[in-house]
Amino acid sequence: MAFLRGFGCYLPARVVDNAELAPMVGADPAWLLHATGIDQRRFAADGETVSSLGTEAARDCLERCRATAGEVGLVIAASGTGEYRFPGPATAIARGLGIQGVPAIDLPMASAGSLFGLSLAGGLAHQYGNVLVVGSEIMSRVVRLEPPSRDTAILFGDGAGACLVSAADGFAEIRDSLLASDGEFAEALRLCLDAPLYMDGRTIILHASRKLPRAILQLLERNRLQPYDVGAYILHQANLNLITRVAHAVGAPESRFFRNLARYGNTSSASMLIAAAEWRAGSQEKLAQPVVFAAFGAGLNWGAVLAVPPGAMP
């Protein structure tokens, strides 16, 4: 048994709105908002790194949970934009927290990384006590801000999110998870060593809009839940079109699908945890209904995690 103790996040100070971005990519600001649902995003400062963003998000998470870094038994860090081939940011985040010697695992996964990390943390909490999951990305450095790359560049921003999973207690119990992968279309979303991010948007949204609702519905069915039983759906904030499609396919009210995409854009593996932190900050009362976390990303990898009020289900 494992529990969600809380979430945290960190967003860089620089705000890049559509009026600033539009001339870079040869587009109209109004079109950017209409096409993506994004009004602004954050860009990291020159001195900021994937690990420094992740460390700040982790500190925010621990503070909100009223926990100390010394309580953390395992760190899992998800990122597709680390500065090095290796090492990944996990050990640097642990060092930044002052907990050298604690095992730190990297998940080099874009978009779905924090979802996979959350699922793994649920299974490992019994062994490590408190597992800190961090998703951190600097997407602004891997896209090309120019007209030929417009359709990709307009989507992304930078940020980090974190979650503390505990074997002892928390505001919600991680009840079940469903993870899936399929490498057949891996080339449709990739970041090569010497080239900017490439995304075949049509292929990605086609697969995401089919596979993500299916995973959510399968997870609910095997836990004898209906879509209306879920109080909140916290998804990877990929784009407004995908979130809307998933809501319709699942058959749950769009109002239950948390969205902060307009303010931050797509922050890849950080986005679901940033959204979770803002959702939880706005609903600090006792959890009354189940919550579903879901993401789809490069690989292709996708899945969903179900969390329920403690003791709510047999």
At which of 166, 191, 212 does a domain end? 166
At which of 143, 166, 189 does a domain end? 166
What pLDDT score was predicted for residue 67?
Answer: 97
What pLDDT score was predicted for residue 314?
Answer: 56
How many Å separate Cα 21 from the centre of its chain? 23
Does the global pTM surpass 0.85? yes
| Residue 108 token pair | 């080099």
Residues 137 and 192 in one domain: no
86 in a structural domain: yes
Mode of pairing for the β-strands spanning 130-138 and 74-78: parallel
Lookup result for tokens 């490069």: 298
What pLDDT score was predicted for residue 151?
Answer: 79
Residues 155 and 195 in one domain: no
Residues 140 and 262 in one domain: no
The enclosing domain of 210 has a CATH number of 3.40.47.10
Q: Which pairs from 281-284 meet CB under 8 Å and 24+ separation?
A: 281/64, 283/232
Residues 49 and 114 in one domain: yes
145 in a structural domain: yes
What pLDDT score was predicted for residue 81?
Answer: 95
At which of 132, 166, 200 does a domain end? 166
What pLDDT score was predicted for residue 131?
Answer: 98
Q: Is the peptide bond before 87 cis (omega within 30 degrees of 0)?
A: yes
Residues 112 and 60 in one domain: yes
Q: How far apart are CA 68 and CA 133, in angstroms?
A: 15
What pLDDT score was predicted for residue 116?
Answer: 98
314 in a structural domain: no
What pLDDT score was predicted for residue 9?
Answer: 98
| Residue 172 token pair | 């919600």
Rounded average pLDDT per 10-residue block, the chain, 314 residues: 96 95 86 88 97 98 97 98 93 96 97 98 97 97 81 90 96 97 94 88 91 98 97 95 95 96 96 97 84 96 96 64
Residues 143 and 10 in one domain: yes
Inter-helix orientation angle 271-281/50-65, to 10°:
30
Residues 15 and 160 in one domain: yes
Residues 150 and 22 in one domain: yes
What pLDDT score was predicted for residue 256?
Answer: 96
**Nearest in space to 157 (alpha carbons), one of 172, 171, 136, 175:** 136
What pLDDT score was predicted for residue 163?
Answer: 98
313 in a structural domain: no
- Which residues constitute the domain of residue 6? 2-166
